[in-house]
Amino acid sequence: MASNDNTSILNSAYIAVEYIDALLPDNPLQPSFKYAWNYMMDNYTKFQIATWGSLFVHELIYFLFCLPGFIFQFIPFMQKYKIQQDKPETWESQWRCFKMLLFNHFCIQFPLIFGTYHFTEFFSIPYDWDSMPRWYILGAQCFGCAVIEDAWHYFLHRLLHHKRIYKYIHKVHHEFTSPFGMQAEYAHPLETIILGAGFFIGILVFCNHVILLWAWVMFRLLETIDVHSGYDIPLNPLHLLPFYAGARFHDFHHMNFIGNYASTFTWWDKIFNTDSQYNTYREKVKTKIEKKIK
């Protein structure tokens, strides 16, 4: 009986979303996107799309999302939103970070991207426009990928903090106690593989079109660059996500080294009480602010 009720609720929710989608005006960008997608399909092979296209999407999105945080350091007005205001970015640290990124992106991640085409062929993942899932299906799939990756990240990240192995791998990522956006993928090559594996699990579960690979890349990069940005910007649309951790949550992890191990959401840290030091710290900050106001 309960199973039938759940099925009925899901069916009703699906019908409601379909109805809302039908009421929405046509997206003016859709014809242009459709033309660009079909042009890509007509002029490039699946191997080129899956390999070079995925590399292009990753590099473009990564550095595009890093750009606002990079610019913020030159804008005095934005400094009030910087979380660790006593630790400004330096050119030396940013240049060191950039060189490590180039190595990780092209020597570690790019060989993995080469497997994308073979993955889509093995599982008969479609590329064509007509098979592309609707926007709300794609959004739900990205959310599902985020939930899976977050669980993987929490437990493997926490393991990498074990005192016996921390100094060999994860210590590289913690060279910066005050993170900045470009540092999101600054890590030991082994960490790039170990924690990065969580990215692919959701793809194995949900992927029914190559567009999900790129949509999930975009969402994951947006999230990880945001939490490493070092800035707590008001009206951040990512905070509309339920249980979203955000920049302050992860910034404390870099400052404190202990706790707040999840990548996107807060529930694993709440369940295992690994956010207790963060909560204590937040209470102290809140009390300090209240005393200043009085």
178, 84 contact by CB (below 8 A): yes
8 Å CB contact between 154 and 268: yes
148-178 tens-digit pLDDT = 999 999 999 999 999 999 999 999 999 989 9
Distance CA 147, CA 144 (A): 5
**Element counts in the chain: helices (H) and strands (E):** 13, 0
Tens of pLDDT, residues 224-240: 999 999 999 988 999 99
Confidence of residue 3 (pLDDT cuts 50, 70, 90): very low
Residue 254 per-residue DSSP state: H
Helix (H) / strand (E) containing 216: helix 210-227
| Side-chain half-sphere CA neighbours of 71 within 13 A | 6
Buried b (16+ CB within 10 A) or exposed e, 200-209: bebbeebbbb
pLDDT digits (tens, 9 = 90+) for 81-140: 999 988 988 999 999 999 999 999 999 999 999 999 999 999 999 999 999 999 889 999
Could you give the angle at the alpha carbon of 58 between the alpha carbons of 54 and 64, nearest 5°? 140
For residue 45, the one-letter residue type is T
